[in-house]
Chains A and B, each alone.
Chain A
Amino acid sequence: MNRGGFLPIAVVLAALACVPLVVHSDVVLNFLVTALLLTLAGQGWNVLGGYGGQYSFGHAAFFGTGAYATAILQTRYGLNAWPAFALGIAAGAAMGAAIGALTFPSRLRGSYFALVTLAFAEVFRILASVAPVTGAGVGILIKLDPGIHALQFSSRAVSYWFILSLVAAALVVTRLIEGSRFGAWLVAVREGEAAAQALGVDPTRVKLAAMTVSAAFTAAAGCFYVQYFLFIDAPIAYGPWISVEALLASIIGGVGTVFGPLLGALMVKTLGEAAKLITGDAPGLDLMLYGLVLILVVGIAPRGVAGIGVRCREWLARRHIRTGGSTA
């Protein structure tokens, strides 16, 4: 992969930032906001799953914790939305650290790790659907109070720029991790835990750190969800949909790449919209398509859409060498 450079990130972000200047349709902007929300959640999954090789099936645990923390701090404790948002991210990160601290030392890997993360998300879903503090089955409504002080934007464009700035932060942090010593350790753990350990890397600590960062990203998506839709309940916060979509965005886009989740999220959401156009309100078809795409990507392009580009480049390079060799 081409590492190091921040230029591609700057170019992509600048292009995305210009979109609301050209497009004024609320429908399109709303679509892009949900795609960016998924990008953020997916980037979280990517840090742990893509770079660290730990496939979580329960990132809803972090999304939901961020969302509920933001909502509860505002409605129950009267906290301003901005600190509530920040504390929501912190709560999600703490949840990631806690689950990581429980699972990694007992050497849960592969399907066991996937299972136990799924179980954690389900436990929280059931708890949130009965506990009074989360509004039980009713959920939590945030009082409508448009304005920058309450972190509620009546203009879609401003919401869009806000989530774009969060995505920008996630992209930059991911790129920084990729180029850092920590990133190298993380990839080493993915490629071979025993070998990494033999070279002096502490796999448990590396995975724990990755899970904390990963959870923080996904929690930020949850916090934004609450501020954007002003509502949260247990099936949204801790339901399997977000776990699946976050995983899907990274895998379709390309695991372990900076732009993978962004690409994947745009494709996943486009696919979902297309399914809705075809069938109207009938539920299920969009997710069915997601499942199909997941299987096809795994089967045909295991490195995702970003991987196809890499493969083409490799193929061209090989061809170049071969033709170069024949003329020499």
Chain B
Amino acid sequence: MQLSILFPAVVNGILNGALYALVALGLTLVYGVLHIINFAHGALLTAALFAAFYLHRIFGLDPYIALLVLTPAFFLVGYALQRVVIGPLSHGDDSNILLVTLGLAVIIENGLLFAFRGDTRTVDLPYSFAVVPFAGMFISVPRLVGFGGAVAVAALLWLLLTLTDTGKAIRAVAKEKLGAQLSGIDVPHIYALTFGLGAACVAVAACLLIPTYYVNPHVGNAFVLVAFTTVVLGGMGSIPGALIGGLFVGLIESLCGLYLGESLGQIGIFLMFILVLLFRPSGLLGARA
């Protein structure tokens, strides 16, 4: 394989991977604290993409500005979902949480399908196809912005978790729920907060994605298994793991697409996912369970 084809594929894979990482960040955060897999994560991403699309269509809001609106909005949605729906209805049982988030995913996805039909939509922006030359190839500007955004959000989350009192409380609940509760931390509040942060990550990812991506009611599915793979690869609950895992998954997808053809690109991801789950469920970077 010629280097002139391989190199752009690697760069594109890494740029895509940054956005996978962003989606995975939300998932890993929720897993790290609540120890559940949020099956509604992909559906929330779809909802955020639709929101960004319609904010642009109706109000002419640039997706990068919509980010400032959608991120807090989705934080609140996530907070409410955990506080009002998932928490009370699952009775604290893990398999119930699994089913409730699955139910939420089905509701959101099909609600969107019912409201907007299955058509695929794209946003037309002046900079959608803007490129910058780099080392003999052209790199898409919105993807570069996406890459920067993903890294920035990861850094912010990390700062939030390490420096603030709230972050300390989140880490405490993740480590030892009962102990945290006994030292006066409001555990349901922290749970909801974490879920809100996860949803906020998804909103940021949606706003960074929409300039170069499309939206339809099933688009989240394409991301959700990728995000699961990323999270599992990076080690459940690990933020640097999600970041590195995302870049790695993007790379694998791009290279599989290059060698096996576009439609089989995702097969590489799923196979990797199954293999990692079977042989190293604690993740490539995670500590041994």
Contacts and interface: CB of A to CB of B under 8 A. Distances in A.
A22 to B, nearest CB: 35
A283 B88 CA distance: 30
B277 A290 contact: no
A326 interface: no
B105 A106 contact: no
A163 to B, nearest CB: 26
Given A298-B99, A299-B90, A116 B106 contact: no
B225 A302 contact: no
A72 B16 CA distance: 38
B267 A126 contact: yes
A102 B85 CA distance: 35
Contacts of B278: 102-103, 106, 108, 116
A115 interface: yes
Nearest to B221: A240
A288 B274 contact: no
Contacts of B271: 123
A114 interface: yes
Contacts of B266: 126
Given A244-B106, A299-B88, A299-B100, A119 B281 contact: no
A286 B106 CA distance: 10
Interface string B212-228: 00000100010001001
B281 A120 contact: no
B65 interface: no
Interface in A91-126: 102-103, 106-108, 110-112, 114-116, 118-120, 122-123, 126
Contact of B274 (A116, A127, A299): A116
Contact of B98 (A55, A102, A108, A296): A55
Interface in B183-201: none
B95 interface: yes
B107 A119 contact: no
A153 B27 CA distance: 49
A294 B103 contact: yes
A294 B99 contact: yes
Interface in B103-147: 103-107, 109-115, 117-118
Contacts, number: 130
Interface size, B (range) = 35 or more
A296 B90 CA distance: 10
Contact of A123 (B88, B103, B110, B274): B274
A282 interface: yes
B110 A284 contact: yes
Does more than half of chain B's interface fall in helix, strand or loop, or is it mixed?
A: helix
Nearest to B289: A107
A287 interface: yes
Interface string A121-142: 0110011011000000000000
A106 to B, nearest CB: 5
A284 B270 contact: no
B102 interface: yes
Given A116-B274, A284-B217, A298 B110 contact: no
B156 to A, nearest CB: 27
Contact of B89 (A53, A108, A282, A295): A295
A120 to B, nearest CB: 7
Does more than half of chain A's interface fall in helix, strand or loop, or is it mixed?
A: helix
Nearest to B90: A298
B96 interface: yes
A186 to B, nearest CB: 16
A208 to B, nearest CB: 15
Contacts of A282: 114
A74 to B, nearest CB: 27
Contacts of B273: 116, 119
Contact of A115 (B105, B107, B277): B277
A298 B92 CA distance: 11
Interface string B61-105: 000000000000000000000000100111101111011101111
Given A123-B274, A126-B270, A292 B88 contact: no
Contact of B106 (A106, A108, A110, A294): A294
A85 B90 CA distance: 40
Sort A-B residue pairs by CB-CB distance and give the 6 closest, nearest first. A299-B89, A291-B106, A284-B114, A284-B113, A291-B107, A294-B103
21 contacts: A110-B98, A111-B98, A112-B277, A114-B98, A115-B37, A115-B232, A116-B274, A119-B228, A122-B225, A123-B271, A240-B221, A251-B99, A283-B110, A283-B113, A284-B113, A294-B100, A294-B103, A298-B100, A299-B88, A299-B100, A302-B96
